[in-house]
Amino acid sequence: MGCSQDKNEHEQIIPFQCISDQSQCEIITKFGAVLVKFNVEKVLAELPFQIQLEFKKDHLLSDIPHPKIINSVVGYMEGKTMFMGKIPLFFNRQLEGDEDYSFIAETMLGSCSEDRMTWRIWITLEMIDVNYKDQTTFFIDVDSTRFR
């Protein structure tokens, strides 16, 4: 219909998973293991997608506080192969029953002149407790394409 986009053209949304176009899925931080997952099979330019950070319950480091006190997750994406500015990521805590082990951000990438582009996703985790404040930063790379 006219200029409206056909709903069938959108990448099918799937359960969160690691994708083949990302450099790492599981990152070991000083707070424990974190999985970085996507709700699409392939990251396509100019189509929204979500990024999930999931704290692995069975791999939490015993010498750190419980992940419930992770107060914030902030991040941004920037082109690794071509500078296109920084795209902020706003993560929201997701509750699963009475436990909260994941954060989700929805975002979208711009299209560039290259058919395939590598993006670097920077993520900072901050933990705060009464007598404890610490943060750690890590990154992963993920490729996007302009076409399926």
Query: What are 94-115's pLDDT values in tens digits?
Result: 876 555 578 999 999 888 778 8
5, part of any domain: no
141, part of any domain: yes
Question: Residue 147 pLDDT > 50, yes or no?
Answer: yes
Which residue range is the domain that position 77 belongs to? 13-145
- Helix (H), strand (E), coil (C) string for the chain: CCCCCCHHHCCCCCCCECCCCECCCEEEECCEEEEEEECCCCEECCCCEEEEEEECHHHCCCCCCCHHHEEEEEEEEEECCCCCCEEEEECEEEEECCEEEEEEEEECCCCCCCCEEEEEEEEEEEEEECCEEEEEEEEEEEEEECCC
129, part of any domain: yes
Number of folded domains in the chain? 1
116, part of any domain: yes
Question: Residue 119 pLDDT > 80, yes or no?
Answer: yes
4, part of any domain: no
What pTM value is reported for the model?
A: 0.80
37, part of any domain: yes
- Could you tell me the CATH number of the domain that includes residue 74? 2.60.40.1930
- What tokens were used for 143? 């490729």
